Chain A
């Protein structure tokens, strides 16, 4: 078990080194002079050079990258160009909000999606399957900003049940924030739903076709028991991986959802950072999101191994 964990953690670290390099290269090495952005068009050449030296921009790229990564690991994430605040505080406070939203989304999405996927597989080719497949292919595959706007139209404007704007104040407790979280979470749910339900359906169908199912049926095990004790046990295992993969979708989805609902999470911070060309902020948000994605994959790997008796952890 310890060796397994160590190996996985090693992979994670390797991925993070590669992706952090990518993020650094994309944000730093491409056109746009940071000093010029900070000081404006009229800055003197001397002032520009001084600022570049101060920010370390005159040093070779590999050194810049290592310094940046080293500082990041040690917790010095730099200062935001646009707000002058320390990036770390800004990012961490928003991260909490995003995690809250992501948690609620998963809480709604995963049981619903798995349930629908199982249902569609058990009633394969019946009208239930058709309805679920068509719904997940159509309504649910739409961009978040459209489903979000439709939900706002229905639940905020027509029915007046939930707020259309989720710009909660910092430090709002979970209970107080809940009404503001429901619509964004539902919107993000819809995209995950289609994907997870589809793959759950596929994996249940694979299991249903295996010989052990026929054996169980032929020896007189009640169908309900065959499904719950045999099929689901095996079929839901790959679903763990699917959920981890869909984390990437969740992150992408939340970026849009937070912007639709004005929810103060990392996604809003990201578009803010891009609009202001705030590179330290942009880098930090990207790294944190990628780290979260990688960690989710690691956790899924471990869960998969723990729940799968056929894998011995080495």
Chain B
């Protein structure tokens, strides 16, 4: 559960809290590794096009299926595309898709969760009934159903992440709000006649933040997982886009000929997922958020 004291610290003394958060993360090798790796992937995603030697779709027919070499550090695929450039472009892609999908889910989930569980009554009942029935459909199944009718595109993938993860975020928010809304400081604010928006934003939200931060990191790691899986299944991002899952699935046909086209994107997914998982675990420890099933 959230510790209101720690949460209040985050809001009141922002810079100090950030420094403490970072120090906490770097106090252990595992979360330090996670944070560093995740930051490196993010940096690479931001710098993407300026650091890669070739474009992700550029084909060089003279250099097809080349093993790793100084000119192509990760080799080239059967169409003569530079694997390193594609992996970096895929990094940018996955941060864009998984990141913005998670962001939408966290924003909507927080707003709806705060409002519905603070207000209570039938609004809460109906909201969480709908969310529960969404959660009764396993995430990947829901994703496939939505993609089946929306058709595969990047926008649908983004929408799928948002729809699949909003209820989960809302549920986490609710578990904290139900505990917080009966606290004296919240009641005091209400007694003073503060508006609901003020009470929610200034008094309730801070206590939700630690759990929300951990959940966001976790959701982001699952979103990466989901985007890659959908790409692999051929229903997510479509060729010739440099999606990591898609690259792995395409490379399967050439695994004997050009194993490096499979290894590097697979390695990239693995490292990023591990990094974000370690980061989420570190956040959980530093912010003292408990395990919830």
Residues of A with Cβ closer than 8 Å to B? 15, 18-19, 21-23, 26-27, 30-32, 133-134, 137-139, 141-146, 149, 198-199, 202, 238, 241-242, 245, 248-249, 251-253, 255-256, 259, 270-271, 273-275, 277, 282, 286, 289-290, 293-294
Contact = CB atoms under 8 A, between A and B. Distances in A.
B134 to A, nearest CB: 7
Interface string B195-236: 000000000000000000000000001000100110011110
A146 B269 contact: yes
Given A143-B273, A255-B144, 8 more contacts: A19-B133, A22-B133, A26-B149, A141-B221, A142-B269, A143-B225, A144-B229, A149-B252
A19 B137 CA distance: 7
A299 to B, nearest CB: 15
Interface stretch (B81-89, B105-113, B178-186, B274-282): B274-282
Interface in B112-170: 129-130, 132-141, 144-151
B277 A141 contact: yes
Contacts of B249: 145
Contacts of A238: 293
Given A256-B232, A290-B136, A146 B266 contact: yes
B228 A270 contact: no
9 contacts: A18-B136, A134-B30, A138-B274, A143-B269, A149-B248, A249-B138, A256-B229, A286-B145, A294-B136
A138 B138 contact: no
A15 B266 CA distance: 38
A270 B138 CA distance: 13
Contacts of B130: 18
B75 interface: no
B247 to A, nearest CB: 12
Interface in B266-292: 266, 269-270, 273-274, 277-278, 281, 290-291
Given A143-B269, A149-B262, A22 B137 contact: yes
Given A252-B138, A290-B141, A293-B136, A143 B232 contact: yes
Q: Is the interface of A mostly helix, strand, loop or mixed?
A: helix
B270 A142 contact: yes
A15 B274 contact: no
B245 interface: yes
A146 B248 contact: yes
B37 to A, nearest CB: 11
**Shortest Cβ-Cβ A-B pairs, 7 listed:** A18-B133, A252-B140, A30-B149, A202-B291, A248-B138, A274-B148, A251-B138
Contact of B138 (A22, A31, A293): A293
B229 A142 contact: no
A290 B135 CA distance: 10
Nearest to B275: A138
Q: Which of B130, B134, B138, B273 has the most CB of A within 10 A?
A: B138
A139 B277 CA distance: 11
A138 to B, nearest CB: 4
A271 B30 contact: no
Given A241-B293, A274-B235, A145 B138 contact: no
A19 B136 contact: yes
B141 A255 contact: yes
Contacts of A275: 234-235
A251 B140 CA distance: 8
A259 B221 contact: no
A259 B249 CA distance: 11
Contacts of A137: 30, 274, 277-278, 281
Contacts of A242: 293
Nearest to A297: B136
B251 to A, nearest CB: 9
A274 B150 CA distance: 11
A290 B144 CA distance: 13
Contacts of B133: 15, 18-19, 21-22
Nearest to B149: A30
Contacts of A277: 148
Given A134-B30, A143-B232, A256-B229, A251 B148 contact: no
A285 B149 CA distance: 15
B27 to A, nearest CB: 14
Nearest to A22: B133
A290 B136 CA distance: 7
Nearest to A291: B136
A286 B228 CA distance: 21
B149 A23 contact: no
Given A19-B136, A146-B270, A32 B149 contact: yes
B293 A199 contact: yes
Nearest to A196: B293
A193 to B, nearest CB: 14
